[in-house]
Amino acid sequence: MPNRTLTLGEFLIDRPEEFEYDNAELGQLLNAIRLAGKVVSHEIRKAGLVDITGTIGSTNVQGEEQKKLDVFANEAFINTLTNRDIVCGIVSEENDEMISISGSDNRNRNKYVVVMDPLDGSSNIDVNITVGTIFGIYRRVSPVGTPVTEEDFLQPGNLQVAAGFIAYGTSTMMVYTTGNGVNGFTLNPAIGTYYLSHPNIQVPTKGNIYSVNEGGYVHFPQGVKNYIKYVQQEEEDRPYTSRYVGSMVADVWRTILLGGIYFYPPSTGKPDGKLRLLYECNPFAFLLEQAGGVATDGTQRILDIKPTDIHQRMPFFGGSKEMVEKAMTFMK
């Protein structure tokens, strides 16, 4: 039986083995993220009650319309991390350029950079469906005390020191890894405390759910079409069940818990798919692998890809080991 009374705060203090180095600094950084998550959760719970779910008319770097809550979440995370003087730079889906944080003495001595999608799946807010914050944390490669550079963010995902997400669903949950397995915490909103609810999460090696936006079928490569036909065949344990929320946080979390495969393939209009390598694919790839799952772009391990652009897109196939490996045989 898991210890149901262990809080995230206690967990961070009790498990120094979670942090390979700089225990205190990385712990403080995760504390800042969990705090901003509470602020965003509180705001999201008011959606529909106040005039906050409409668009504000501006577009972000991908040319998509921003929602007010996207902007709120982006500011909540940036302000929390900046005010606590805990990182030297941030890349956010909502900001075209990387954010360089100068630090209290204009010589930023912080070691970490954060990549994040402050509110993923935000088109789902107006219809009361789960959205989430996705984050990845890296050690900077530029010297401490100098301004952050793009190279600090263009590191392969296998160099993440921590990654995770906060899901704002039927409950608010924070799930993260520092490379020592994956643990999930559920927020008790009455007292604002996250409790360890999902210790040492393991992805089943096989499941029976496939998750993809099949509306794009005609534009998928032949290998992806063939794989979709395969999962729909009446043979052995197939056809699989289809589930697609359209919020990566919800779709991948379900895949982690129940097993299955989630994919966002390339298509004729989107040769690199839709998902962003830095702050969508890599954090989930790290979580999946830490929980015994697999994440690839169809042919290679996501975590080994060296990014070339901070907002780069990448096809994504993640989930149960046996299922992702099977899907890859169709991509060859």
Which string of DSSP letters, residue by residue, matches 258-325?
H--EEEE---SS-TT-SSBIIIIIHHHHHHHHHTT-EEESSSSBGGG---SSTT-B--EEEE-HHHHH
Question: Do the strands 316-319 and 182-188 form a parallel or antiparallel pair, or are they unpaired?
Answer: unpaired
Assess 94 for contact with Mg ion (CB under 5 A). Answer: no
Q: Does 122 sit near ligand AHM (CB under 6 A)?
A: yes
x/- site string to ligand AHM, residues 188 to 227, per CB under 6 A?
A: -------------------------x--------------
Q: Say which residue the tokens 């392969």 belong to.
A: 156
Compute the least distance from the CB of residue 266 to ligand AHM, in Å: 13
Contact 175, 183 (CB under 8 A): yes
**Measured between alpha carbons, how far is 111 from 101 in angstroms, rounded to an integer?**
12
Give residue 162's Cα distance to chain centre: 11
Residue 128-167 contact track with ligand AHM, rule CB under 6 A, x = bound: ----------------------------------------
Annotated binding-site members = 93, 117, 119-123, 213, 244, 274, 280
The footprint of ligand AHM on this chain (CB under 6 A) covers a number of residues equal to 12
Dist CA 111 CA 142 (whole Å): 9
Residues 115-174 interacting with Mg ion (rule: CB under 5 A):
117, 120
105-108: long-range contacts (C-beta < 8 A, 24 or more apart)? 107/145, 108/144, 108/145, 108/146, 108/147, 108/148
Distance CA 45, CA 172 (A): 10
Which amino acids are annotated as binding site for Mg(2+), given as ranges?
A: 93, 117, 119-120, 280
247 binds ligand AHM (CB under 6 A): yes
Least Å distance, CB 206 to ligand AHM, is: 22
- Give the one entry of Mg ion, ligand AHM, none that residue 311 binds, where binding means its C-beta sits below a cut-off of 5 to 8 angstroms depending on kind: none
C-alpha 152/C-alpha 272 separation (Å) is 23
Q: Site for ligand AHM (CB under 6 A): which residue of 156, 246, 326, 330?
A: 246
Q: Which helix (H) or strand (E) holds 78?
A: helix 68-83
Helix (H, G, I), strand (E, B) or coil at 16: helix
In whole angstroms, the minimum distance from the beta carbon of 264 to ligand AHM comes to 6
Q: Closest distance between Mg ion and the C-beta of residue 53, in Å?
A: 17
Binding site for substrate, by residue number, is: 120-123, 213, 244, 274
Closer to Mg ion by CB, 120 or 152: give it. 120
What are the tokens at 143?
A: 């010297």
Pick the stretch among 119-127, 136-144, 198-206, 287-295 that binds ligand AHM (CB under 6 A).
Answer: 119-127
Q: For binding to ligand AHM (CB under 6 A), which residues are involved?
A: 64, 93, 117, 120-122, 213, 246-248, 251, 274
Residues that bind Mg ion (CB under 5 A): 117, 120
